[in-house]
């Protein structure tokens, strides 16, 4: 009889068990991060900073001189172009729009790749949603620009 090699834990457990454990782990970490934001953090900080820098640029000022709370804008120039649609909106609406575009875009990318939607609780996604960073919103553009993405091997 030939030995098959070591038995891995994932071979012994049903697939849903590992998915449930991973989803729970992500959710707990994400809940902790939301608690920090709710307890006095700065939700939407990146969105606010990028928007202010874009408004300065549109007004003819130096966008890299913009700072909020001592943190200056340091993104590359194409970021300003991507933020123009959000800069023309009032701040509160711009931050909500950035969040919605990012969530929808990330969900579309996950669906197109055949990855479960519970991965929206993945901590880097939650961090991006909390700060309303533009990287999060770029996932929508990725999902629309890639007509036939490769499927994961798992």
User: Using CB atoms within 10 A of its CB, is residue 114 exposed (0-12), middle (13-18) or buried (19+)?
Assistant: exposed
The answer to whether the beta carbons of residues 121 and 33 sit under 8 Å apart is no
Q: Please report the pLDDT score of residue 51 as a whole number.
A: 92
pTM (global) more than 0.85: no
Q: pLDDT tens string for the chain (154 positions)?
A: 555 666 565 566 676 777 788 788 878 887 777 776 666 666 777 888 889 999 999 999 999 999 988 889 988 888 888 889 989 999 889 888 888 887 787 788 778 777 788 777 777 777 777 666 666 556 555 555 556 656 555 5
The answer to whether the beta carbons of residues 98 and 132 sit under 8 Å apart is yes
């Amino acid at each position: 009889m030939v030995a098959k090699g070591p038995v891995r834990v994932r071979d012994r457990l049903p697939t849903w068990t590992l998915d449930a454990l991973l989803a729970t782990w992500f959710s707990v970490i994400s809940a902790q991060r939301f608690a920090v934001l709710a307890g006095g953090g700065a939700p939407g900080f990146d969105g606010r900073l990028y928007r202010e820098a874009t408004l300065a640029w549109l007004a003819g000022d130096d966008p890299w001189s913009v700072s909020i709370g001592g943190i200056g804008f340091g993104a590359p120039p194409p970021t300003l172009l991507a933020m123009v649609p959000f800069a023309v909106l009032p701040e509160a609406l711009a931050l909500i729009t950035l969040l919605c575009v990012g969530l929808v875009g990330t969900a579309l990318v996950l669906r197109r790749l055949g990855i479960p939607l519970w991965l929206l609780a993945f901590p880097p996604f939650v961090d991006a949603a909390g700060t309303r960073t533009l990287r999060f919103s770029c996932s929508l553009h990725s999902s629309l620009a890639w007509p036939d993405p490769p499927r994961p091997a798992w």
